[in-house]
Structure formats: C-alpha cells, structure tokens
Chain A
Amino acid sequence: NAGVTQTPKFRVLKTGQSMTLLCAQDMNHEYMYWYRQDPGMGLRLIHYSVGEGTTAKGEVPDGYNVSRLKKQNFLLGLESAAPSQTSVYFCASRPDRVNEKLFFGSGTQLSVL
C-alpha cells in the first residue's frame, strides 16, 4: 500500500535547468496538491487539481507548471529553475469528501545553484 509517492527525493539543479517532479497516488483520490515548504513560512500552495484533466493556481504558482493527465499522477514542472525555487516540495492528495484528511508524500528536496 504505497499511498502517495514522490520522485525524486533529492535533486540539485543549476539555474536555468528544467525538471519535473512526479507525484503518484494509488488511492483513487480526486484532489491533489503541490506545496512548497520554506523555513518560517509553513506550507504554501503552488498548484492543485480537483480531478483528472484539471489544474488550478495556488498561492505561489509563478515559475511552475502542472499537469494531471492521469488521475493517479500530478506532475510539477520547473521550466527554468531559479535559486528562489530552492525548497522542499510536498505533494498531497485526498478523496472527494472534504472531511477527509490529506495524505502527504515524503517530499522532494530541491536545490537550485
């Protein structure tokens, strides 16, 4: 029972490089979220999805793109990485009932040099 799986766990990029973070969940959840966690700032929402084929902007979407082509996968892309995107990224998912808890992945630590 994998739950929410994030890959990769760690990555170092140079400024200007691109990469994609993958979030996969095997619980048939409708809602998926990408957050970034920075010291003293808590979890901030980047983008989210309320179902397959849908995406929406969160609190800090600039510099990121997302896709939800399959219900189980939510991809977060950085087209041209910047040092300000150095952070720990968490994916979360939940079922279609709002009283349900969020299930989090184990995080991706990204450093942009």
Chain B
Amino acid sequence: AQSVTQPDIHITVSEGASLELRCNYSYGATPYLFWYVQSPGQGLQLLLKYFSGDTLVQGIKGFEAEFKRSQSSFNLRKPSVHWSDAAEYFCAVGATGAGSYQLTFGKGTKLSVIP
C-alpha cells in the first residue's frame, strides 16, 4: 500500500525567506503526486500536480515542486514566502486503480510566517 511522509509537522519562516516543505512517498510504481494547501476553516486547494514528464512542476502562487524518483521525494519550494502563505500543506500520492486513482495524504505541515 502507498504511504506519504511529511517529516516536518510545523515550520516557521520569516516573510521573504525561502521555503522548502519535504515529502517522501512509498509506492510500487510511478506515482501521481500532489500538493494541496488548506487555510484555516477552508477546504483544500490544489497547488500543483505531477503525473509524468518534466520532473520540475510549477504551480500556483509561485510554488514549485521537484519529483526525484531516486529519493522518492516530491518537495515543495517557494523562493520568497508571503504572510498569506501561512496555512497547512498536504502532500498526497495517487495510486492508480480501476480507471482513476485514490489519494493518500501525508499528515500535513503547518506553515507559520513571521512578519
């Protein structure tokens, strides 16, 4: 069965600093990979996704992620964090099934931004 590990429960960065959120996955085949963001009291918003092709993926709000097969990782990065980026970030792996895929989520990383 697939699994996702987000080793950092809580990260605090200063506004304007760079950010990297770690994500490692376990899956027997080439995975579908996703990053979602959840602001307080809100649903999940997709930041970016990887299905195939270029391993460096660009997303919304200036985020990017790189799929590294050798490290089973899909880390999320942003060069300069804004106060509005404070939220919880979830990495997910999609295990392909009959005609679709099922998402397995990591436990999330809460991001705090210091003004």
A binds B: no
B interface, CB within 8 angstroms of A? none
A interface, CB within 8 angstroms of B? none
